[in-house]
Structure 1
Amino acid sequence: MTTLRRYLPILDWGRTYDRTAFSNDMIAAVIVTIMLIPQSLAYALLAGLPAQAGIYASIAPIILYAIFGTSRALAVGPVAVVSLLTASAVGQVADQGTAGYAVAALTLAFLSGGFLVLLGVFRLGFLANFLSHPVIAGFITASGILIATSQLKHILGVSAHGHTLPQMLGSIFAHLDQVNWITLVIGVAATAFLFWVRKNLKPALRRMGLSPLMADVLTKAGPVAAVVVTTLAVWALGLDARGVRIVGEVPQGLPPLTLPAFAPNLLGALLVPAILISIIGFVESISVAQTLAAKKRQRIDPDQELIGLGAANLGAAFTGGYPVTGGFARSVVNFDAGAETPAAGAFTALGLLFASLFLTPLVHYLPTATLAATIIVAVLSLVDLSILQKTWGYSRADFTAVAATIVLTLLMGVETGVASGVAISVLLHLYKTSRPHVAEVGLVPGTQHFRNVRRHKVDTRPHLLTLRVDESLYFVNARFLEDLIQSRVTEGCGITDVVLMFSAVNEVDFSALESLETINRRLKDIGVRLHLSEVKGPVMDRLETSHFLSELTGRVFLSQFDAWTALASEEHLNRAAE
């Protein structure tokens, strides 16, 4: 039963579900549904899919996540970055607006879901850690700029294309003579209104005496108000006949049962993008889930989250959707609205199902410029150029990673940006660990503590060299330690003993073991003994399986102070004998 509850968290929180939780979940669901309807339509537009695909991607996936997910506040569905990645990936294998495009989007969701489930089953969630936070911040910032730029064509009412910033801007400037001024007025007005709503409406409503909950609901309904007003304007004034692009007919009914394609060439073309979408989506989702869970002292299981998100994407693949993940904005809204359990997401799905059944005819005259305004306002909050200043002041290596990710994403597209982000993260880690911090240490007078000779006033012995290794030793940095000791133990220096202080060493791989053997042999040739101190149990266990300890010219000391005392006494006796 414990194993079953691990894979079906609903069996855990469902046992204690009561009327209070139901009431709180329903209130949260109403607020999130109001917010999600225009967002779903807008993100489908961003992904290059029909508007209804956004709603379909927000029904079955949410229900499946409620069953398999562990976060009680995460709201799953279409998000801006994943929608952009979907458009980029699918656009390379099919033309937008064709049946093949929609099928490719389903296939992408299927591959992403399957990959996430496999990661979860085999407990490989740690792989997401290969994306460093600065690189993620840089990628999301660049993606926000690309997304906002991609929507300018809908604000202007022109036909433009491109997947990189130069391509988009060049195409927009080339079509400026086609600007539809009515569309421009609608788009600019909607954008300005949504920015005002986000920053000023809630404080204004609070000053009018409304309760915090009601003020929050009305603020989240801001995009709905923009949708209603602009839709009525287009319908009443017949603006669609004057060139204003509208959503058009949106099918009513339940999400359809769909099948992804299994053609080998299509699967091969979408596999890498699916993996990248999975990793980016999981990183965004788990970050939000853990942040919200910590506020209520709840626990998130990253590996089960992979299964929950994987199930959600598989659900999207078979119900007319496209790749989904946990959204930051709607999850925060869900949490602030008082969601107690994942059932809030299921109730949100029912609200969207109602909209799909009865409300879709009402968005026929909805101008695409309004949806573009919704996207622009949402994604500009993702843009954080201050990360460049922060990393510049703290770490030039991290700054280089952030700047490179932003530039490559903007100039070469999101897939290249993600791939380069992963590569930069790994290379950055290898670079940092290839030159581990190794400090020469001495005894702090009157204590048994040892500190860096360059930072503290410490006692040292001319015949004794003690080096504290502050990094695990493996193939990347093993030669660095060899060269360092070789350069330090020179002819005529008077050093007779070298002690490697291993208090910070958690692992020694085979390459590092060979380097230690080389160091021991070279020191022996010049009459210098090699000692170890403060070796951790697991490291000692590994060393004992080799011949290194039996060939060691010196000893292994329990503490650095023991080494200091013993070797100082030996030196004193040697001098006395002389």
Structure 2
Amino acid sequence: MKLSKLLPALDWLKTYSKSDFQQDTVSSIVFTIMVIPQSLAYAMLAGLPAVTGLYASILPSILYSLFGTSRILAVGPVALTSVMTASVIMPSAVSGTEQYATIAILLALLSGVFLLVLSLLRLGFLTNLLSHPVISGFISASALLIVIGQIKYLLGIQSEGDTLIPLTTSLFAHITDINTPTFILSVVSISALLFVRRNFARFLKYIGCSVKIVQLFGKSGPVIIVAITTISVAVLSLDQDGVSIVGAIPSEIPSINPELIDLEMIWQLLPGAFLITIVGFIGSVSVAQSFAAKRRQDINPNQELVGLGLANIGSALSGAFPVTGGFSRTVLNADCGAKKPMTGIFSAVFILLILLFLTPLFFYLPKAILAAIISISMMQLVNLEDLRYLWRFSRKEAILLLVTFFIVLIDGMQSGLIVGVILSLLFFLWHTSHPHIAIVGRLPGTEHFRNVQRFSVETHPSILTVRIDENLFFANARSLEERLQGLVSQNKEIKHLVLMCTAINMIDASALQSLEKIADRLNDAEVQLHLSEVKGPVMDKLEGSDLIKNLSGKIFITQHQAIKELEEKQANT
């Protein structure tokens, strides 16, 4: 095996130039400045000290840059995995305690191990169990819960709970305790953030900044708002009036305290850790593939498991929480002009320098501005268009989205995701257990065969051709038996039944037994069974079976050949 497959960084490092270095350095500085408020906010979202978001942005970013295959994906704290982390830990520990921090680190470690195991076993396909409606409903509901959870910081009140009913009940119970300075700061912050998001790039153009400056700093407006609010809190001593601030940042990086962990706790965390792993991986690979397609680059999903697995282990070693590749973080990285994964390494170094020398600047950072940043970002993830589209396209999938959405809101993220996956599998089993079976005939003047209910086709009264549009296995074997038996019993003129196997790619033992029963019953009814267009892998399985040994009819290469020969046979009888 080539060393570059184990360490993809070797590929891009071979062609890394001085101009790349200069571009990545500038991009990394801008990216670091802009991503710091987001990282602090997402740590708070996970129920951890804000500075933990910076811990989670250093070693994970370096490790992914070296072992991941995406040239642009930015790995670090992400809103969804952050809130999932909080929802997994809250039943076992209280936010702000040593036990809470220990469990968060353990979750990152478990997630990293899960990702590496999935890579070794090449089980990345398990992520396919999450269908689009499930993911859409899950993300929309989670985003809504996140926004509701941030209201307590925006109003300066106390609130408990991690699902809709406890959250709203707690908020209403404390609504009279609103802290006026915090509320004013929140309103001003949200208004300012929305304004600069839409107009800051225009403002830079208006004052005569170059296109390059606008591209680099056009989205840096939130950083200015963060700086202004922090200075305002410090100058006006708003913390003395009840405005909650980040406060002193601890100099020691937290670590796992073995005394606070036992096997029972680890066992309880495994389902939550696995869900965080799957959701994080799906989101990360989706983002990586979308950007890779735009840049005509390749993504290796199995190596992505390795890169993200090592990133999470790195996060655990840093005293942080589960991380993954984030959409907003990656868009920010691309907008800053990142060309190579070196930007991930440079930005990690810059964040480390900030942690070492500039942490006092975060003392007066108000939690309200972080909550405002989170809320604005999350509201963009509440997607009503998906529901409208699915309601027109597939009511079943729209219902699946709604069920996932409401269960996440009412009973939590884990329950919603599990129920969504189970319903997806049940819908799949229902669909495959009721295969589309069409009676087909020949289009006049051609060798093509189509559904008699959709096209004007030629048929023969004593020849019935049935096309099965599904693989044959235990779930639909009985349905196939009943349908074929019904078709034959309804038409006494039928002498030949041809199974057109164009769409059958797989057959299992249960389906084979059903076909053997069908053949026996047809033989008793003096109807010959024929097969046409059987694919090689399916034929390999059928050879040597009792079905082939006792087949009353023939196996035809093409459907046209079958009909031509059988029509001639009927004409001569």
8 Å contact from structure 2 (residues 498, 532) kept in 1: yes
Which residues in structure 2 correspond to 1:201-240 (within 5 Å)? 201-240=200-239
Compared with structure 1, are the counterparts of its residues 259 and 537 closer, same or farther at alpha carbon in structure 2 (3 Å cutoff)?
A: farther
> In structure 2, what is the Cα distance between the partners aligned to 1:348 and 1:259?
29
Partner of 1:317: 316
Partner of 2:89: 90
**1:350 Cα deviation from its structure 2 partner:** 0.9
> 152-161 or 542-551: which moved more?
542-551
Compared with structure 1, are the counterparts of its residues 257 and 150 closer, same or farther at alpha carbon in structure 2 (3 Å cutoff)?
A: closer
> 213-222 or 376-385: which moved more?
213-222
**Secondary structure at the residue paired with 2:464?**
strand
> In structure 2, what is the Cα distance between the partners aligned to 1:306 and 1:19?
31
Which residues in structure 2 correspond to 1:185-264 (within 5 Å)? 185-252=184-251, 263-264=262-263
Compared with structure 1, are the counterparts of its residues 352 and 259 closer, same or farther at alpha carbon in structure 2 (3 Å cutoff)?
A: farther
**1:199 Cα deviation from its structure 2 partner:** 2.2
8 Å contact from structure 2 (residues 56, 315) kept in 1: yes
Partner of 2:180: 181
Partner of 1:379: 378
> In structure 2, what is the Cα distance between the partners aligned to 1:205 and 1:431?
57
RMSD (Å), alpha carbons: 1.5
**Residue-pair matches, total:** 572
Deviations 1:547-578 (A, max 9, x none): 2211222111101101111111111111xxxx
**1:269 Cα deviation from its structure 2 partner:** 1.1
Compared with structure 1, are the counterparts of its residues 530 and 262 closer, same or farther at alpha carbon in structure 2 (3 Å cutoff)?
A: farther
8 Å contact from structure 2 (residues 215, 335) kept in 1: no
Compared with structure 1, are the counterparts of its residues 259 and 27 closer, same or farther at alpha carbon in structure 2 (3 Å cutoff)?
A: farther
What amino acid maps onto 2:350 in structure 1? G
**1:117 Cα deviation from its structure 2 partner:** 0.6
Compared with structure 1, are the counterparts of its residues 559 and 27 closer, same or farther at alpha carbon in structure 2 (3 Å cutoff)?
A: farther
TM-score by length of 2: 0.97
Q: Percent identity?
A: 48
Structure 2 residue 31 is matched with structure 1 residue 16: no
8 Å contact from structure 1 (residues 34, 220) kept in 2: no
8 Å contact from structure 1 (residues 93, 269) kept in 2: no
What amino acid maps onto 2:110 in structure 1? L
**Secondary structure at the residue paired with 1:477?**
helix
> In structure 2, what is the Cα distance between the partners aligned to 1:190 and 1:324?
27
Partner of 1:68: 67
8 Å contact from structure 1 (residues 463, 497) kept in 2: yes
Structure 2 residue 519 is matched with structure 1 residue 503: no
Partner of 1:476: 475
Give the gaps of 5 or more residues in structure 2.
none
Structure 2 residue 154 is matched with structure 1 residue 128: no
What amino acid maps onto 2:172 in structure 1? F
> 37-46 or 337-346: which moved more?
337-346
Partner of 2:270: 271
**1:154 Cα deviation from its structure 2 partner:** 0.3
Which residues in structure 2 correspond to 1:46-445 (within 5 Å)? 46-252=45-251, 263-445=262-444
> In structure 1, what is the Cα distance between the partners aligned to 2:345 and 2:296?
23
Give the gaps of 5 or more residues in structure 1.
none
8 Å contact from structure 1 (residues 35, 330) kept in 2: no
Partner of 1:446: 445
Deviations 1:142-195 (A, max 9, x none): 111011110011000000011111211111111001100110111111112112
> In structure 1, what is the Cα distance between the partners aligned to 2:555 and 2:27?
61
8 Å contact from structure 2 (residues 101, 254) kept in 1: no
8 Å contact from structure 1 (residues 252, 360) kept in 2: no
Structure 2 residue 541 is matched with structure 1 residue 556: no
**1:424 Cα deviation from its structure 2 partner:** 2.0
**1:337 Cα deviation from its structure 2 partner:** 2.9
8 Å contact from structure 1 (residues 532, 555) kept in 2: yes
Deviations 1:457-500 (A, max 9, x none): 11011111111111111111121111111111115531111111
**Secondary structure at the residue paired with 1:298?**
coil
TM-score by length of 1: 0.96
Compared with structure 1, are the counterparts of its residues 527 and 287 closer, same or farther at alpha carbon in structure 2 (3 Å cutoff)?
A: same
> In structure 2, what is the Cα distance between the partners aligned to 1:216 and 1:153?
35
8 Å contact from structure 1 (residues 213, 337) kept in 2: no
**Secondary structure at the residue paired with 2:489?**
coil
Deviations 1:207-241 (A, max 9, x none): 44333432243333222212111111111111111
Compared with structure 1, are the counterparts of its residues 336 and 221 closer, same or farther at alpha carbon in structure 2 (3 Å cutoff)?
A: closer
**1:509 Cα deviation from its structure 2 partner:** 1.2
> In structure 2, what is the Cα distance between the partners aligned to 1:54 and 1:473?
50
> In structure 2, what is the Cα distance between the partners aligned to 1:492 and 1:247?
80
> In structure 2, what is the Cα distance between the partners aligned to 1:337 and 1:228?
20
What amino acid maps onto 1:119 in structure 2? L
**1:338 Cα deviation from its structure 2 partner:** 2.8
> In structure 2, what is the Cα distance between the partners aligned to 1:450 and 1:562?
12
